[in-house]
Amino acid sequence: MITQLKHLLVGKPLDNAAQQHQRLAKPIALAVFSSDALSSVAYASEAILGVLILVGSTSLSLVVPISLGIVVLLAIVGFSYRQTIHAYPNGGGAYIVAHDNLGKTPGLIAAASLLIDYVLTVAVSISAGVAALTALATTWGFTDLERYSVDVALVLLAVVTLINLRGVKESGVIFAIPTYMFIASMTALITIGVGRMFLGGVQPIVPAELPAATETLGIFLLLRAFSAGCTALTGVEAISNGVPAFRKPEAHNAATTLLWMVGLLGVMFFGISFLANHYGAVPREGVTVVSQIAIAVVGTGPAFLFIQVATALILVLAANTAFADFPRLASLLSSDRFLPRQLSQRGDRLVFSNGIIALSVFAALLIIVFQAHEQAMLPLYAIGVFISFTLSQFGMVVHHRRIKEAGWQRGQIINAVGGVLTSIVLLVLLPILVVIFQSIRQHYSDVAAQLSLEQKPCIEAVRRHTALVLVSGMHKGVIPALQYGLSLAPDNVQAVYIDMEPESTCRLQAKWEQWGCGVPLVVVPSPYRSLLRPLLNYIDEVDRLYEDDVLTIIMPEFIPSRWWQHLLHNQTALFIRTALLVRRGRVVTSVPYRLEKKIG
C-alpha cells in the first residue's frame, strides 16, 4: 500500500536510461532555473523603499537611481556567470570555480553560502507568495488570511516539495505556466503604467499617513538601501549550477537562457521601481508595492486579479529554483565527502530525493521561526548570495590568468569589476559551516584510513567463544536464542537476567528449570532498578575472563506482525544494542521471533 501511494504521489521509478530524456529545453529551463530571480521583482523594489522610508518621503525618489545601479551590477554579474558556464560546463557554479582556482576553503565558503541561499530562497519565496495571497484577499475584503500565514506557507511548501520529487522535467513543465504568466503580467503592467504616464492619466496613490523619519540620509543608509535591493540578484547563479540539466549543447543553451533571464529581470525590476516612484507606492502593512501599482494602473477588476494570482504563483514556485540546485550542489559536496553520502544518491525519479527533503525541512524551520515574514529574512538572504558571487568572480579572474584563452583580458576585467562590486556588499563570511564541512570530510578520511588494507592486518584464529543470552522473561521468543547460543558456544554460554523485581525473578527461575534448555541462568542484582548499568558491568566482567575469546551477546526479540504494534512495546533492545555496539571486541546478535497476524 505504501509503495502504491508513493507511485501515485511521486510517480513510478525511472531507470537510468531515462536520464537523458529528463534534459530541459531552453523555454522550460528558463522556468526551472529563473523563477527565483524573476520572482524578486515582486519584492526587491519594496525592499529599497522600506529602507528609504526611514528618512521620510523626500528620499523615496532615490529608488530609481539605486535600482539603475543594481541593474548595472546585474548585467556585470550576468556576463560573469556566462563566462563561468562556458569555462565549467559540468555545473557546480561558484563552488567548483572557487574550489578549482582559489582553494578548498574558499570553495567551501562559496558552497556554504549557496546552500544557505537556497534554503532562504524557499522560505522567502513561499512567504512572499503567501503575502501576495494575503494582499489579494485583503483587497477583496477577506482580512483573516494573515492569521494563517504560517499554516498556508507550510502547505504550499509540501506541495512544491512533492512536485519536485516527481522529477526535474515534470516539475519544469508544471512550473512553466505560472512563470510565463508572471512575465506577461509584469510586462503588461509596466507597459500600461508607463503609457498612462506619457498620456497624462496618472492618478498618484494616496497612502496612509507615512511614519515619521527616524534616520538621516547618509552614505550608510544609501548602502543599506542598495544592499536591500540587491535581493533582485538572487538566483542569477542558478543556471551556472545546473548546466548539465540542459539539452545538448548544454553550455550554449545555458548561456542563452542566462541572457534571457538577465534581460527580463533587469527590465521588470527597473520598471517596477520606476512605476513605484511615479505612482507614489510605499511599503504598507498587508498590501504590497506591486499590488498598489496594479490597482493604480488597471483597477481592481480581472486584470488586477490576474496580476496578483500570477505574482503569488511565481513567488511560491520560485522555490523550484532552489529545489533544482540545492540537491545538485549537495550531491557534489557529498561526492567530495564534505556532506553525508546519502545526499549523492538519486531517488526513484532520478532526482536527489534526500537533498530535496532536507531542503524542505530546513525551509520549514525558517518559515516557522520567522512566522512567514519574508522581509525579515531578506538581510540573511543577501549575505549568502554575495559570498558566492564574490568568490565565483574572483575565481574566474584566476581562471583567466591561468588558462589565457582568447579574449581573456576582457573577461578578467569583467570578473574583477564584478568581484570588487559584490565584495562591497559582502559583510560576513560563514566559518561555522566551513568547519562543519571540514569535520565531515575528516570523518570520512578517518574511516577510510582505519578500514584500509594497505597495512596488512594481523589475522589470528579465534580460540574461544563466549555467548551471553540476555533475557527479560521466559517465553517462546527466548528458546530460539538459547538454541543459537548453544550452537555457537555449547561449553561457554550463559543466560543473563537483571533482577529489578524479586517476584518476577522468582517466576522466571521457576520456569527456567523446565524451559531453559540446560543453559545456566545468571541473575544480576539491581537494587536501584537500573537495567543498563548492571548489565554493562556484568558483560565487562565476563569479557575480562579471557584474552583470546570472542564475546557474543545474543538478544531475543519478538517482532509484532503490524508496524503500528511496535509503538505498544518499549524499545529496550534498541538501547541495549546501541550501548553495546560502541564498545570494542563484542559481537551483538539479534534472534527474532516473528509473531503471526491474528485472523478473525
* CB distance 478 to 556 below 8 Å: yes
Report the phi/psi class of residue 457: left, alpha or beta, with left for phi > 0 and alpha for psi in -120 to 50. beta
Pull the grid cell for residue 154. 507550510
DSSP letter, residue 125: H
Q: In this structure, are residues 417 and 424 in contact, taking their beta carbons and an 8 Å threshold? A: no
Q: Is the confidence at residue 128, as pLDDT, over 80?
A: no
pLDDT in tens, 66-123: 999 999 988 988 888 888 888 888 766 677 877 878 788 877 877 887 888 788 888 8
Q: What is the mean pLDDT of the chain?
A: 79
Asked if CATH classification 3.40.50.620 holds for the domain at 464-594, the reply, yes or no, is yes
Domain definitions of the chain by residue range: 24-444, 464-594
Over range 122-144, report the average pLDDT: 75
Q: Is the pTM of this model over 0.85?
A: no
Q: What is the CATH number of domain 24-444?
A: 1.20.1740.10
Has residue 268 got a pLDDT over 90?
A: yes
Q: CA angle, 126 as apex, 120 and 129 as ends, to 5°?
A: 135
- How does pLDDT run across 538-582, given as a tens digit for each residue? 888 888 887 777 888 998 887 777 766 666 555 677 778 777 776
Q: How far is CA 271 from CA 24, 41, 496, 598, in A?
A: 30, 9, 78, 70
Per-residue exposure over 399-427, b if at least 16 CB sit within 10 Å of its own CB, e if not:
bbeeeeeeebeebbebbbebbebbbebbe
Written as one string, the DSSP assignment of 397-425 is HHHHHHH--TTHHHHHHHHHHHHHHHHHH
Residues 6 or more apart in contact with residue 315 via CB below 8 angstroms: 39, 42, 43, 125, 126, 128, 129, 131, 132
Which of 100-104, 379-383, 469-473 has the weakest average pLDDT?
A: 379-383
Length of the chain: 600
> Roughly how many angstroms between the first and final C-alpha of the chain, as a whole number?
21
What would the pLDDT profile of 238-251 be if each residue is shown by its tens digit? 888 778 888 888 88
| pLDDT tier for residue 169 given thresholds of 50, 70 and 90 | low
Model confidence pLDDT, tens digit, residues 331-343:
888 888 888 877 8
Which pLDDT score, from 0 to 100, does residue 427 have?
A: 46
Q: How far apart are CA 265 and CA 276, in angstroms?
A: 16
**Is 391 within 8 Å of 110 (Cβ atoms)?**
yes
Q: Cβ distance 373 to 126 under 8 Å?
A: no
Judged by DSSP in three states, 527 sits in coil
Which among 22, 86, 411 has a CA at the least distance from the CA of 252?
86
DSSP category for residue 349: T
